[in-house]
A and B are shown apart, each in its own frame.
Chain A
Amino acid sequence: MKTKIFILPLLFVLFLSGCREQTFKKTKFLINSPCEITIIDANSYKAKKALKESFNEIEKVDKLCGYGLDSKVSEINLNAGKQPITVNNELFKIIEESIRIGDLTEGAFDITVGPLVSLWGFDTDKPSLPLKNKIISVLPLVNYKNIKLDKEKLTVYLAKPGMKIDLGGIAQGYAVKMASKKLKEYGIKKALINISGDIMVIGEALENNPWKIGVQHPRKQNELLTILEYKDKSIVTSGDYEKYFFSNGVRYHHIFVPQTGYPAKGTISTTIITDDPMLADALSTAIFVLGAKKGMAIVNKIRNTEAIIISETNDGTIITVSSELEKTNLKFNY
């Protein structure tokens, strides 16, 4: 029997084709948002398994932080002023972190804005301008310091009847965080997670280039404000163009100042770049509320965190960029 040795190059070719990096992408509609995960890996079995499991994580967050009548969040809200509700460790930590960020941002981030969201109708398809006295009447219900946590019993209690927590400002960031954690558990070194524009990039993109993340132009729908290049970072943007309505020529958007009950004025877009997607999500809302001066002062106190804040003033549009980002000579389309 003769054996031809040239079969070795054939095996070599097969081996090489299996080693080549490929892109695996999946998109699903969860947490009321388009959720997209892209993985770059040479191992197709590992990548597909990681995709499936990371979407399972997003589904878990959807159930945990959702507003369905049978959800824990609804149970907490229904028992405001009545009794503490026992929650699992995960939900407890999300609420605890929300309170910490509330302290960090001097109350600009506040998950007790639920009554305001409902009053303005931003939890429906038809938001509208409420009467001033109605806004004033719900303000006493908006204060995250009235959330009472018992760490030993794992209970959450809203101290005043009518209080409502809304995790909309942090849930997507948390989902991104959990999905990225799962991907890393599966040994994925290059990935991009995008939940309704809340983005986390892991490692680098194809051919070891940094991931390119565009920032939505706040006033031109099909244009980008700028393009950021990062690896291993989270990028989250809050804008007044996401959910809004016009009344008598005035734009009213969904990002409230907790202390006044009205949408924040002046800022039209904030982009936060930091390591933790959950922090990025909450901060993007808080810095939007605080505005460029106070907001950037807080950004500067947080490690590894950069920001782009776009403000509309009487003197025109101002783009404020954090110091490290400014050194990169970022170009803006404005």
Chain B
Amino acid sequence: MNKQKFYKISKYDFAVAMFILLFSFSLMSFKNLNSDNKKAFIYKNNKLVEKTSLSQKKVINIKKMKIEVAEGHLRVLESDCPNKICKHSGWISNPYQTIVCVPNKILIEIISDSKDIECNAVSY
């Protein structure tokens, strides 16, 4: 009958195990160390249609709306909605800010990975 033998842990096994533990802890925290990566998420009819970093410089066309991204900010440049409330919202750049265009069913929000935020949400 074969007997199962349990191998005694050597100092090398212990070293490997500690390395794996420390490496995985460092991976868990790495994501938050160096990201102030603000991204704009644009939804139309509750579906995500565009995702872009605010560090880029571009104009996004969604139907008859033009959305401008530049230098860490975003704004609605043009819209065919009657009251242009979305356009009057001006530039946004903070994670708690959103722009909404009800007639076009567009919602724009800014998401940031950074833990260093001014606030989690805005009451308005």
Contacts and interface: CB of A to CB of B under 8 A. Distances in A.
Instruction: Select the residue from A6, A25, A213, A239 with max chain B CB neighbours within 10 A.
Output: A6
A29 B119 contact: no
Contacts of B92: 222
Interface in B74-124: 81-83, 89-94, 96-98, 100, 102-103, 105, 107, 109, 111, 115, 117-124
Contacts, number: 121
Contacts of A33: 100
Contact of B43 (A16, A29, A211, A222): A29
A3 interface: yes
Interface in A17-35: 17, 20, 25, 27-29, 32-34
B34 interface: no
A79 interface: no
A121 B5 CA distance: 84
A215 interface: yes
A125 interface: yes
A289 interface: no
B21 interface: yes
A214 B117 CA distance: 11
Contact of B124 (A2, A8, A12, A237): A237
Nearest to B16: A6
Nearest to B100: A34
A205 B120 contact: yes
Contacts of B96: 214
A29 B45 contact: yes
A5 to B, nearest CB: 5
Interface stretch (B7-15, B54-62, B64-72): B7-15
Given A1-B2, A34-B107, A214-B96, A224 B28 contact: no
A107 interface: no
B91 A214 contact: no
A235 interface: yes
A126 B83 contact: yes
B21 A3 contact: no
A166 to B, nearest CB: 17
A85 interface: no
B32 to A, nearest CB: 10
Interface string A219-263: 001101001100000011101001000000000000000000000
A194 B111 CA distance: 15
B119 A13 contact: no
Nearest to B44: A29
Given A214-B121, A224-B118, A28 B7 contact: no
Given A6-B16, A32-B102, A212-B119, A17 B28 contact: yes
B17 to A, nearest CB: 4
Contact of A212 (B2, B81, B90, B118): B118
Interface in B12-28: 13-14, 16-18, 20-21, 24, 28
Nearest to A212: B119
A292 interface: no
B119 A214 contact: yes
A16 B13 CA distance: 20
B90 A214 contact: no
Nearest to B81: A125
Q: Which 4 A-B pairs have the closest CB atoms?
A: A216-B124, A9-B17, A197-B124, A214-B119
Given A6-B9, A227-B118, A236-B123, 20 more contacts: A1-B2, A1-B4, A6-B14, A10-B20, A17-B24, A17-B28, A27-B43, A29-B43, A34-B98, A38-B120, A125-B82, A126-B83, A197-B122, A214-B119, A214-B121, A215-B122, A215-B124, A224-B122, A239-B124, A271-B123
22 contacts: A3-B6, A9-B20, A12-B21, A13-B21, A13-B24, A16-B24, A17-B28, A25-B111, A28-B43, A29-B105, A34-B107, A38-B120, A197-B124, A199-B123, A211-B120, A212-B118, A213-B122, A215-B124, A222-B91, A236-B123, A237-B123, A271-B123
